[in-house]
Structure 1
Amino acid sequence: MNKKAMFMTRLFLLLFLISHVCLAADAKKTTGDQKTEARAIMDGVYDSFVKVIPYVYSDEKNGGLLLKDSQQKVELLKNLTDISDYFKSARHVEYFQRPGFRPSLETINHHMDDTIRSVKNDNFAFAQKRMKALTALCISCHSQLSESASQNAFGTAINKAKRETFDSDFAYANYLFLVRRFSDSEKYFDLAIEKALKENQEHELYSSLRKEISIHTKIAFNVKQGNQMIARFEKDSRLPPLAKSSLMSWKKSLNKWKSFNPKKVKSIDRFIKTYLAPLESEKGQTAGGEHDVTLLVASGVLSKYLNDHPKTPLAPEILYWLSIAERRLSNTYFFSLSDLYLKDCIKLYPKSRFAKKCYTEYAENIEFGYSGSSGTDIPVEEKQELERLKGYLK
């Protein structure tokens, strides 16, 4: 296994180990027995997922091997089913039924059912995408935890995980990022960037820069520190043109947010109309990165508002815009939750005018995702999912 694969393997396992604590965090009435049961369930998930990892990050050739070796397919299905069964046996904490936390256990269960169905139908490419998306469910949980909850949730994991147990500064930085030790993670991302510049490792370079800017926009919102981060690297002659261009774009955008204070947002409706609605007409143009900072800030503001106001009538609209932000940012900042936000928008708020917009967005994403030089080839199970979601609309 090469170094990159080893890192992704360890990172994925850490995500699953960490995510089980989310089931108990912030739930004041959770008993010791429930916590013990949750840990036992996630230990089972961990044991089964170890055996699934080779398929999660393999290339398409390994997917073809499943068709040639029926025993491998049987083994993969067994482990995916075990993971699904463990999740279904978990006791879900009411706190995570809030719209901002759905992706939740219920979502994971539906997600696993679809994944298993895809493997059974020999649609490995689709199953692989779903297995990768599981990481997003974990990130969605613990990136939204309050500071007190995150300290309780990640304390044990933080104490056990030291730098020497990771293959690289990049791997350790990502771990610290996931457990919300943002100041420490930035230090190690800086080290990873220096190494990436020396060794021309573009993946680690871009990923590290993007994680750092996300800390200072979506997560902590500190324009001053964001500009300080950019200043550390913007004049480095080793920077590839695209990286330099991204830094300049972020710097320009950050300056527009200098007087903004997310804690003083009194009207989320006005916030959406001011910062996001203008992007509606140029939604397809956000891929250039010029709106990254706006989307990151908006994603942080909307997520927090939805968690603080789970019964807001603006929930479907917020889910729609969170989806739009995730769609652009997923491949470069986080794993995508875009489709899951759209599904919740449709299922939870079918009477909302945004439900139809969410369905249209989801259908277009699916059509685009399965279009190629040979035309559009949407899997049967995804067509069935489209029909199921359409049935919710009023």
Structure 2
Amino acid sequence: MRSGLVVLSVFALVLSGFRIKSGEKNYEDFKPHMRAVYASLVTIFPLALNTRSFTSKDNNKAIQENLNLIAQHAKEINTLAAKDEKGHAYLSLQLERNARQAALKYKDGLHDQAHFFVEELYDTCLSCHTSRSSSTDSAFTMDLSKNLDLDAMGTFGKAKFLALSRQFDRALDEYERIFKSQDLSLEELMHFDPLVDYLVLAVRVKGDADRPLKTIAELQKRPLPGPVKHDLEAWQKSLKQVKSRPKKQSDLEFARTLMKDVNRDRMSLVNTIFASKYLKDHLKRANISAKDKAETYYQLGICELSIGESLLAGESGMYLEESIRLAPKASFAKRAFELYEESVTLGYTGSAGINLPVEEKARLDELRKLVF
């Protein structure tokens, strides 16, 4: 399904990291780059719909020019976002890196590798959209999406596209339609794991525990494998517990409660997603102490590792690193370093062993000296 969705990666550039409110100071700085990327996407969109079009010599010039343009403006966006909230700054950096690599690989005729980096752009955009608690839908892409054959994007393609274009309620509607459909195979349910995407949208983006409770109740009526049933029962229990949040608890205090018994497994997924929502809300508060901010980043790092998305695992490293730099002698700093070292090492481990880049090794050495 990913190859069929590759076009969304490019299109999603216009949607990722651009949620700058019109009243904010740097909105005007972002606008020309948003418009330039949008204009480029309108051209490249139909060409990227399938591998044959993407690799055709007839389309080479148009694709290359537009990939170059996207990379150029992604670089400017990254520069503007560098001083923003850490999660946004990290994702903007990933956006710029992947856009640059997509353009370079395509130029060298390495179309498969170019496809890979375009898909990475898709993951970056999806992570950016679902990592935040803002649930405002956007009409920014409505005109373009009217002309798209969303139903041709694979079983979950339409739902993912709607999420990327910030049409969150429609995305949830689409996921629920699929879950109710008798056409949904157990293979698709197990392989693509759409329930995780659905829960992230419902819980973290919309902050809604009631909606997924109804969906889970419907799914439990279907004959499902034991592991899926166990997940649904655990998530149902967690959703009911989260609804009884004590009113006097702060976002950070409630997140601590949610994370108390969390393990890096699927059983505690709902608690983890809700905790990440409240932790991100806590970071928006003014005058947070360095210690509280460090703990918040530490807990966010654990959350993103627990949710289990490959991209979010990279984002978790950023959170863990930031927590260490803010409070290297805090009680959680050693554990933060252990998790950071583990995620970095695993990311560079292959059949030939561990191959850490020089800059990554230097960063690990620097953080180790801060903590120990």
State the TM-score, normalizing by the size of structure 2: 0.73
Instruction: Give the drift of 1:29.
Output: 3.4
For 1:363, the equivalent position in structure 2 comes to 341
The yes-or-no answer on 1:7 pairing with 2:4 is yes
SS of equivalent to 1:138: helix
Say yes or no: does 1:271 pair with 2:254.
Answer: yes
Amino acid paired to 1:315: K
**Is 2:245 the partner of 1:260?**
yes
**2:272 is matched by which residue type in structure 1?**
L
Deviation (angstroms), 1:173 = 1.7
Shift of 1:94: 6.2
Match of 1:66 in 2: none
- After TM superposition, the structure 1 = structure 2 runs for residues 1-394 of structure 1, keeping only pairs within 5 Å, are 4-5=1-2, 7-19=4-16, 21-22=18-19, 24-25=20-21, 27-30=23-26, 34-41=30-37, 43-44=39-40, 83-90=70-77, 93=80, 97-106=84-93, 108-109=95-96, 132-143=119-130, 144=132, 146-147=134-135, 150-151=136-137, 154-162=138-146, 165-166=149-150, 167=152, 168=154, 170-195=156-181, 197-203=183-189, 207-237=193-223, 239-260=224-245, 265-266=249-250, 268=252, 270-279=253-262, 283=263, 286-287=264-265, 289-309=266-286, 312-313=289-290, 314-331=292-309, 336-346=311-321, 350-353=325-328, 357-371=335-349, 377-381=353-357, 383-391=358-366, 394=370
AA partner of residue 355 (structure 2): P
Q: Deviations over 1:160-183 (max 9, x none)?
A: 324962115632222222334333
Separation in structure 2 between the aligned mates of residue 304 and residue 253 of structure 1, nearest angstrom: 20
The 10-residue stretch of structure 1 (78-87 or 346-355) with the greater mean CA deviation from structure 2:
78-87
Deviation at 1:192, TM superposition (A): 2.0
Amino acid at match of 2:297: L
Q: Tell me the secondary structure at the aligned position of residue 231 of structure 1.
A: helix
2:95/2:121 contact within 8 Å kept:
yes
**Aligned AA for 1:367?**
T
Tell me which residue corresponds to 1:60.
none
SS of the equivalent of 2:14 reads helix
1:291 positional shift: 0.7
Deviations 1:70-123 (A, max 9, x none): xxxxxx99998765433223485569702342324345446667999999xxxx
Contact 2:298–2:320 (CA under 8 A) maintained in structure 1:
yes
How many pairs were matched up?
352
AA aligned to 1:299 is: S
Query: Which deviates more from structure 2 when the two are superposed, residues 209-218 or residues 294-303?
Result: 209-218
Percent identity, aligned pairs only, is 20
Counterpart contact for 2:6–2:115, Cα < 8 Å: no
Judge conservation of contact 2:12–2:122 (CA < 8 Å) in 1: yes
Determine which structure has greater relative contact order: mean sequence separation of CA pairs < 8 Å that are 6+ residues apart, divided by chain length: 1
Q: Secondary structure at the match of 1:235?
A: coil
Given the superposition, is the C-alpha separation of residues 126 and 301 from structure 1 closer, same or farther in structure 2, using an over 3 Å criterion?
Answer: farther
When residues 340 and 200 of structure 1 are mapped into structure 2, their CA distance, relative to the original with a 3 A threshold, is: closer
The structure-2 alpha-carbon separation of the partners of 1:357 and 1:267, relative to structure 1 and needing over 3 Å to count, comes to same
Per mean C-alpha deviation after superposition, the further-off stretch among 129-138 and 110-119 is 110-119
Q: CA deviation at 1:292?
A: 0.8
Aligned 8 A contact 1:48 1:83 in 2: no
Question: What amino acid is the match of 1:247?
Answer: L
Unaligned runs of 5+ in 1: 56-75
Aligned-residue Cα RMSD (Å) equals 4.4
Tell me if the contact between 2:301 and 2:316 (Cα under 8 Å) persists in the aligned partners: yes
- Structure 1 residues 386 and 126, CA, compared in 2 at 3 Å: closer, same or farther? farther
Contact 2:16 2:125 in 1 (8 A): yes
Aligned residue for 1:97, secondary structure, equals coil
| Cα deviation, residue 227, structure 1 | 1.6
Distance 1:126 1:171, change over 3 A: closer
Q: 1:267 to 1:292 in 2, by over 3 A?
A: closer
Question: Any idea what the Cα deviations from partners look like across 1:288-319, whole Å, max 9, x if unmatched?
Answer: x1111111111111122223448542223222
For 1:89, what is the secondary structure of its paired residue?
helix
Query: Over residues 121-156 of structure 1, what are the superposed CA-to-partner deviations in whole Å (9 max), with x where a residue is unaligned?
Result: xxx999998765443432344342645xx44xx313
Distance 1:294 1:248, change over 3 A: same
Cα shift at 1:51? 8.7
* Distance in 2 of aligned mates of 1:78 and 1:348: 40
Q: Secondary structure at the match of 2:156?
A: helix
